[in-house]
């Protein structure tokens, strides 16, 4: 589980939720849904075969929810886009249509999240720590302190921060024109990057045979900036503690 959490945080979050759902008794609908999310590479092609055009709506709903609601950060983001791009290369999905559809879902999701944050305000957030985990909020606020409005763009490539960034922007009442510009830019870069990678690499036989590993590799690449930041932060903490020990 520790390795899974490091390599695929979306899957780790889903695993925890799935285990909790199973503990309540039997295979609940939630447990089945989360199991599907955890085994995305195996089920996505089956979804299009069984559901046809309805599958496009399901993909839209997943991306919209992952970016639009702070209670669903466990839903797949980067891995879903990569897998969908790979299916586009194989002709299973209409690649241009899917890109446009998921771009719309990402932008609308962030917009709804911003609106919710603007409506509920910081007081509601602080009085409901179970819904808005303080550690996630603090991490997102640090992003805003360092990158300002560009956080809306950069957050697209960071698990969990992606879900909370537009909400915090709404709480802080960021200028909406500025927010929507960064929202459109970030959404376009996110969709183009991961779906493009899936499209160009998904048709390679070695990738098809080791698809789960390929998806894990994509997630690791997306986490490299986070890892670099953690290492830098740890070094900074050690540097601050050294003088105190000497004194």
From the list 182, 163, 10, 194, the residue with the least C-alpha distance to 99 is 194
Residue 197 lies in a domain: yes
pTM (2 decimals)? Answer: 0.71
Give me the domain span that covers residue 40: 2-22+29-230
Are 107 and 184 in contact by the 8 Å Cβ rule? The answer is yes
How much is the mean pLDDT over the chain?
75
Residue 238 lies in a domain: no
Range among 8-12, 15-19, 240-244 rated most confident: 240-244
Place of tokens 């990569």: 82
**216 CB-contact burial (10 Å; exposed 0-12 / middle 13-18 / buried 19+):** middle
For the ranges 64-68, 77-81, 160-164, 219-223, the lowest mean pLDDT is seen at 219-223
Report the number of distinct structural domains present in the chain. 1
Residue 100 lies in a domain: yes
Residue 66 lies in a domain: yes
Residue 165 lies in a domain: yes
Residue 242 lies in a domain: no
CA–CA dist 202, 197 (Å, integer): 8
Summarize pLDDT for 55-109 with one digit per residue, the tens. 999 999 999 998 988 887 777 788 889 888 888 888 888 999 999 999 999 999 9
Residue 169 lies in a domain: yes
Residue 123 lies in a domain: yes
Are 102 and 57 in contact by the 8 Å Cβ rule? The answer is no
Structure tokens at 131: 């819904």
**Arithmetic mean of pLDDT, 164-181:** 87
CA–CA dist 39, 57 (Å, integer): 19
Place of tokens 């709506």: 57
**18 CB-contact burial (10 Å; exposed 0-12 / middle 13-18 / buried 19+):** buried
């Amino acid at each position: 589980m520790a390795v899974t959490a490091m390599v695929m945080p979306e899957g780790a979050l889903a695993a925890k939720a799935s285990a909790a759902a199973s503990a309540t008794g039997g295979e609940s609908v939630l447990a089945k849904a989360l199991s599907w999310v955890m085994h995305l590479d195996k089920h996505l092609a089956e979804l299009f075969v069984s559901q046809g055009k309805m599958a496009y709506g399901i993909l839209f709903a997943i991306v919209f929810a992952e970016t639009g609601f702070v209670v669903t950060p466990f839903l797949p983001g980067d891995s879903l886009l990569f897998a969908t791009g790979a299916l586009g290369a194989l002709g299973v999905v209409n690649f241009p249509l899917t890109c446009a559809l998921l771009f719309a879902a990402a932008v609308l999701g962030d917009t709804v999240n911003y609106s919710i944050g603007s409506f509920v305000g910081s007081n509601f957030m602080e009085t409901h720590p179970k819904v808005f985990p303080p550690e996630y909020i603090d991490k997102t606020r640090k992003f805003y302190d360092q990158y300002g409005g560009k956080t809306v763009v950069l957050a697209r490539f960071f698990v969990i921060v992606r879900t909370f960034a537009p909400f915090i922007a709404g709480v802080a009442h960021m200028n909406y024109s500025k927010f929507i510009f960064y929202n459109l830019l970030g959404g376009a870069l996110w969709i183009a990057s991961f779906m493009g990678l899936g499209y160009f690499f998904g048709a390679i036989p070695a990738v098809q045979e080791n698809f789960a590993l390929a998806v894990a590799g994509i997630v690791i690449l997306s986490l490299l900036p986070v890892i670099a930041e953690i290492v830098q932060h740890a070094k900074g903490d050690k540097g601050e503690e050294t003088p105190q020990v000497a004194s």
